[in-house]
Structure 1
Amino acid sequence: MLYSGMRKILLLAAALAGTALADQRVPGTSVSYKVQKTGGQNTSMVFFDAVGDPSGKTYLAFKCHGKGSYTMSLYSRDVLATSETDVLLMVKQGKTLASGPGYVRKDKQTGKFSVWETEYADVSGGLYKSLVNANGPVAVTVMREGGNLVPVSYQFDSRGLTAGMKAVSACW
């Protein structure tokens, strides 16, 4: 009898632990977030899905590094380059709102050069601010060059991004 009761408690604890680590969606938006800490530091993430990508493989990710610091990455369903290379990312809403340098690297899951990221918190902050200020539809363009590659744009709806960042304590 004790075993059965203990088993129920363990199953409930496991279920709750899984829920705590699962992505949470900001209602009515394409924004989700995952709250987590590693070694006492906020390592949460905010995800921002592209509009019209049924694959779910194109999204922006804001990765917390604690103390209010974060970096931004774009994960794409498309190949962004043929090798690791520096490229510019632009946020547009009719006109260019912000741009920032970064580089394309291989996706660890697919092995394709389909991830743009920047290691600069100030670049990530500027891009984030432009998305929040837009508060609606925006285009995010990767200015890829070379061979038969041309710039590629993805559509995002930035509503909900502030709520997602607030849910992860603004990376503090």
Structure 2
Amino acid sequence: MTRIQRLSSAELLAAADALGDLLSDVVDGGSSLGFLAPFDPGAAAAWWRSLAPAVAHDRLAVWTALDGDRVIGTVSVAFADKPNGRHRAEINKLMVHRTARGQGLGRTLLTTAERAAAAAGVTLLILDTQTASPAESLYRAAGWKEAGVIPDFATDPAGTLHPTTLFYKRVNDDPVKPVDEASRVAVQTST
């Protein structure tokens, strides 16, 4: 049975090697996540370790999907730090290991991140993904709205330029209210 777990900064550091293996697998499988293939799992683990301060300061929330002790998926939410943007956050690095795809795990991770962001007072989520990628259809099916396409935005892992599609989703029907930073942190640490 798959278990979804939110990581503390210490847990992120402990899981960095397993997350590095996941990131390396997903990049080497052709997913555009900001890295080029081949992507060494050790370098990928180091990238995950570099995120621990952001997790410790509640600027980033990271979840893993575990099959036993094996990390088979992850998603992150990056919270805006500007006073005029605390109502929004960005979905980052939604990934599922190639051996675990097609079972709804991507949708489960996305829903987990959306609900946690809403519970933290976020009302607007944004993300970007390579245009025409399998991820694009996942976001559309989950109710995300296209905001536009930017041509030649990033390369795929092989180094070929591709456009990216920007998406947004409102996750709370309440009018936008200023988010109290102290309550956002309290909600995040209790999930």
- Work out whether the TM-score is over 0.5: no
Structure 1 length as normaliser, TM-score?
0.30
| Bigger Rg, structure 1 or 2 | 1
Q: Taking structure 2 as the reference length, what is the TM-score of the superposition?
A: 0.27
- Structure number with the higher helix fraction is 2
Structure whose residues are more often strand by fraction: 1
